[in-house]
Amino acid sequence: MKSITIGGKMHPGFDKILTEEAQKFLVKLHQRFNGTRKSLLRRRTEIHKKILSGENPTFLKETESVRKGDWQVDPIPEDLQDRRCEITGPAEAKMMINALNSGATVFMADLEDSITPNWFNQIQGQANLSDAYERTLEFTSPEGKEYRLNEGKLATLIIRPRGWHLEEKHILIDGEIASGSLVDAGLYLFHNTKLTLSKGTGPYFYLPKLENHLEARLWDEVFTFAEQELGVKNGTIKATVLLETILASFEIEEIIYELRRHMSGINAGRWDYMFSAIKKFRHVPEFLWPDRAQVTMTAPLMRAYTELLVQTCHKRGTLAIGGMAAFIPSRRDAEVNRVALEKVRQDKEREAQDGFDGSWVAHPDLVAVCTDVFSNVFEEGRVNQKHRKREDVQVTPEMILDFQIPGGEITELGLRNNISVGIQYIAAWLRGTGAVAIFNLMEDAATAEIARSQVWQWSHHPEGKLDDGRQVTVEMVQSMIPEELAKIRDDYGEAYDEIKMNQATDLFFKLVAEEEFEEFLTIRAYDQLD
């Protein structure tokens, strides 16, 4: 009896990814780990219930021995030591080629937040990854422009699978919908583990949305099992954790410990972190953030989490990677370009001075800025700052939960911006584009989540008032939507997609109007994908 059923269309080349042996490997992963995954997701709900009842998170007493212990992560491969500039983007051929050729030290090929996880994108993404390692990846635009990988050095390739909470509805295993995480990781590892090693690199991951060390332990168990099944030594697989949930801040050291044989770093996923803070503490009367543009990396809780991240990583011998600067340059508007470059430079200078070993950019034109900033700070002969232990840092649980934004205000412009960004992003996502430039910022699922979660909170909080004293209500949001849609229609012109924009508007309004907060907009939107 066959344990696996593939429900998605078999496009050309998909048979090379979804081979019988690869499917068997997915079945093994599912049968061994999916039960634990589901149990950990239920545990998230129980933890959040405790927070809602007034029990604030803190550093874990039961893991104190880990924090006090004398241990280090296993050695990090040479091609993951220099991470002064990392570029990210979806696992789409054109974007991958441009990123790998960009001059960045690392490229994160995304199968999660910056790609729409429809069936075609996820499986074609897997094919693109293998082609990239073989240096056969190419793309020709509808206009006839050809894109090919450079002959020389390319960025080191890392992949980001979907988080533990996401599923792959086109694959059923033993009658259950498969885990998006296990499908993404499983197919990548099955096809590329030995291939990467033959090319002088390795199977490298970015792990998203972890909320605690037990979720890190599950990834470690998956990696160890895969290494045994694929016949490579333990520790071959390396992972960088995206620290992008506020609860994970209380368990940084424990997360590193669980993954110590596979650990290569932690990244400050700032945008998801902000969304996570709103999501987990939306009920707290004194927690009401202003316009998202006013919640900067100098805010108390953002300083606390990033400084603790750097200190903990360097204490344990692993790398600390800075977050994404969402500003994108313009090749048509010199002033927009100047402002974007300067903001990115300031952001990266702050990170470099704080001790980060590198940082993220979203566009090839920003690689030089980021690279130069970190190169200027690094000591001669060094490719990172692991030696900077930041022993001056003392972060308490109260500091991690300090939500104050001095001088912050909710403005009508900020509300309208959130409405417009939320609708535009969801529409693009439904069309199959997971990363889109809106108002000179690169928006992906993380920033769209901030937009819709802020609108929800402002319109459900008794102190959700604009700076002119008006109460933000669901009715106010509803009245603004047609006005913002009219502006979007004018901006898009003939590119305006009436059907997708209406779908996006309907979904956005439901998400912000409902009394119960939806955990992830992408889960609701996923139901509308093929």
Whether residue 454 is found in the same domain as residue 373: no
Residue 69, classed as helix, strand or coil, is: coil
Residue 406 falls inside a structural domain: no
| Per-residue pLDDT at 2 | 66
- The series of mean pLDDT values per 10 residues for the chain, 530 residues long, is 87 97 98 98 96 94 97 98 96 97 98 93 98 97 96 97 97 97 98 98 98 98 98 98 98 98 97 93 88 92 97 98 85 83 93 98 93 97 96 97 93 97 92 82 84 95 95 97 96 92 95 92 84
Q: Decide if 325 contacts 344 (C-beta within 8 A).
A: yes
Whether residue 419 is found in the same domain as residue 390: no
The last residue of one of the domains, among 363, 398, 433, is 398
Cα–Cα distance, 298 to 349 (Å, whole number): 13
Give me the amino acid identity at 87: I
67 among known catalytic residues: no
Residue from 155, 506, 69, 505 nearest 364 by CA = 155
Residue 407 falls inside a structural domain: no
Largest pairwise CA distance in the chain: 66
Whether residue 166 is found in the same domain as residue 273: yes
Q: Which of 83, 162, 444, 452 is catalytic?
A: 444
Q: Decide if 257 contacts 312 (C-beta within 8 A).
A: no
Cα–Cα distance, 163 to 336 (Å, whole number): 34
Whether residue 207 is found in the same domain as residue 88: yes
Whether residue 440 is found in the same domain as residue 342: no
The last residue of one of the domains, among 398, 426, 454, is 398
Q: CA 272: distance to chain centroid?
A: 7
Domain that holds residue 371: 4-398
Residue 403 falls inside a structural domain: no
Residue 222 falls inside a structural domain: yes
Whether residue 310 is found in the same domain as residue 275: yes
Whether residue 439 is found in the same domain as residue 378: no
Whether residue 181 is found in the same domain as residue 317: yes
> Considering its fold, how many domains does the chain have in total?
2
The last residue of one of the domains, among 345, 376, 398, is 398
Residue from 205, 225, 318 nearest 266 by CA = 318
Residue 369 falls inside a structural domain: yes
Cα–Cα distance, 276 to 266 (Å, whole number): 17
- Residue 251 corresponds to which tokens in the numbers above? 């368990």
Give me the amino acid identity at 335: E
Whether residue 203 is found in the same domain as residue 308: yes
Cα–Cα distance, 323 to 348 (Å, whole number): 9
Q: Which residue pairs, CB below 8 angstroms and at least 24 apart, start in 146-152?
A: 147/93, 147/94, 147/97, 147/98, 148/97, 149/97, 149/100, 149/101, 150/100, 150/101
Which CATH number belongs to the domain containing residue 214 in this structure? 3.20.20.360
Whether residue 95 is found in the same domain as residue 32: yes
Which CATH number belongs to the domain containing residue 515 in this structure? 1.20.1220.12
Residue 404 falls inside a structural domain: no
160 among known catalytic residues: yes
Residue 352 falls inside a structural domain: yes
Cα–Cα distance, 331 to 164 (Å, whole number): 38
Residue 304 falls inside a structural domain: yes
Residue from 457, 461, 470 nearest 412 by CA = 470
Any idea which residue has 């920033």 for tokens?
447
Whether residue 40 is found in the same domain as residue 86: yes
Whether residue 165 is found in the same domain as residue 300: yes
Q: How many residues does the chain have?
A: 530
Residue from 194, 286, 182, 275 nearest 232 by CA = 194
- State the burial class of residue 120 (Cβ atoms within 10 Å of its Cβ: 0-12, 13-18, 19+): middle
Quick one: which H or E segment has residue 507? helix 498-513
Q: Which of 37, 44, 160, 316 is catalytic?
A: 160
Indicate left, alpha or beta for 350 from its phi (over 0: left) and psi (-120 to 50: alpha).
alpha
